[in-house]
Structure 1
Amino acid sequence: MIEIYSSYGCKICKHEFVLLSEQEQEQLKNNRYLVCPYCSSQKVIKQNKSDSLKECMSARSYKREKGAIRQR
């Protein structure tokens, strides 16, 4: 079965984003590269592939910094 969603993380700004696998394959087929939508960095790493968007989103981790909860 084909996974529908792909989760990526940016090495520069540490944000995570999710792409549809169709969009990802289309970009790679046309010899284009993937960039972070927050900082436009090309340094992205693939984290997870899943059928459910909830599974991609639950892979995030959180840490308490100075009394506030922050995403890593």
Structure 2
Amino acid sequence: MEESSSSKKALTLEEELEKEQSRIEELYQEESEEEVFSYLENDEEFQKKMLELKEAMERAAREHGKKTK
């Protein structure tokens, strides 16, 4: 079965977020939890990636729903 472009984009974004998770884990080792959360709340690039992933996952779910009906 061929993946839709939305599914592929969601997978690509998921891979990027896994890299971000590694970076976050490194921060946890160096900083307190509160400092890490503060940093992420102010990290516009991280927030943008999270929003893109959410939207891509929602699109993929809608497309999958259309195919299974």
TM-score, normalised on structure 1?
A: 0.26
Higher RCO structure (Cα 8 Å, ≥6 apart): 2
Structure in which a larger fraction of residues adopt helix: 2
TM-score, normalised on structure 2?
A: 0.27
Bigger CA radius of gyration: 2
